[in-house]
Amino acid sequence: MDRRPAQAVKWSAGMDQPNTRVPADACDCHHHIYDARYPFAAEAALRPGDASIADYKALQKRIGTTRNVIVQPSSYGTDNRLLLESIGHFGGKARGIAVVDTAVTDARLRELHSAGVRGIRFNLAPPGTTTLAMVKPLAARIAPLGWHVQVNAPAALLLEARAIWADLPVPVVFDHLARVPQPNATQHPAFLMVRSLLQQGKAYVKLSGFYNESLLGAPGYADAVQVAAAYAREASQQVLWGSDWPHPTEQPDRIPDDADLLDAFAAAVPGEAARTQVLVDNPARLYQFS
C-alpha cells in the first residue's frame, strides 16, 4: 500500500505578500504537484504529502505569476500521468518536464509534446529511475521536438560529467543554481563550468532552491543571492526563475517562505528590464509559450 504521512504544515510557510511585483506573464519555471491518487514509484526516496493544483494556484495568486512549468517529481518515476493531468488544469499557461527512460517510444514522446511537455529531467541526486548513461541517447531523440534536458545533481557530479553537457544536441538546464556548494561558490569549478556553458548558449540555469546550499539562510539567503546575481550578470538570456514549491526536500519545520524566495530573486536581479527577461522572455523562448 502507498502510505503517506499527513502533511503537518501548509506548504507555503507564510502568508505575507512578497515585496516584489512581477511583470505580466511571469513564469515560475520549477514546481511540483503531488496527489495521493497516484502511487509513488517503488524506489521513491521522497514521499511527501499532497501538494495539489488548487494549493499551487493559491500560491500563484500570492506571488503574482501566471505561467508555470510543472516538473515531474522523482517520487513518481516515469509515470507521468499526474504531470499530464496537471498541465491540463492551467488553460494553456503551463508546460511540463517529464521523466522517461530509454524504453520510451517515439510515439509516446510525441504524445507528451502534444500535452505540453517541453523537456525531460534527470534527477541524479541520488540516481534513481534515470541514469547519466541515458542522457546522450535520449537527448538525440528529443532534439527534433525542440525540447531540452534538465538535470538535478550535486556539483561534483555535474563537473565529472562536463564532457556530456558540452556535447548535447539540445540545451541543458541546471536545477537550483547547479547546486554549487558554499562558501565561495562563485570560485568553485562547477560554477565556472556552468557559467561557460551559459555564455556559449548551450545551457540555462534555474535561479531556484536558494536554501539548498545557503549557509546564511532565510530570509535573505545572501550567499545564494550572490551566486544567482553572478549567473544573471554573466548570461542574462540563459537564466530562469523557479519557486521549487512545495520544497519536498525540506522538513516540515523548515519549509521556506515563498515570498522570501521571490524577494531573494529580486535582490539578485534588481532591474525591471532584467527581471522581465528572466521571468517572461527566457521562459517563453525555452518552453515555447506563444
In the structure grid, which three cell numbers stand for residue 155, read together? 556539483
In the structure grid, which three cell numbers stand for residue 121, read together? 529531467
Dmax over CA atoms of the chain, in Å, equals: 50
Residue 28 and residue 241 in contact, taking contact as beta carbons nearer than 8 Å: yes
| 244 belongs to the catalytic site | yes
* Annotated catalytic residue, options 223, 244, 260, 263: 244
Residue 140 makes CB contacts below 8 A (sequence gap 6+) with 169
d(CA 146, CA 60): 27
The candidate with the shortest Cα–Cα distance to 245, out of 228, 257, 229, 227, is 257
Exposed, middle or buried, 136 (CB in 10 Å: 0-12/13-18/19+)? middle
CA atoms within 13 A on the CB side of 237: 7
Q: Which residues are known catalytic residues?
A: 244
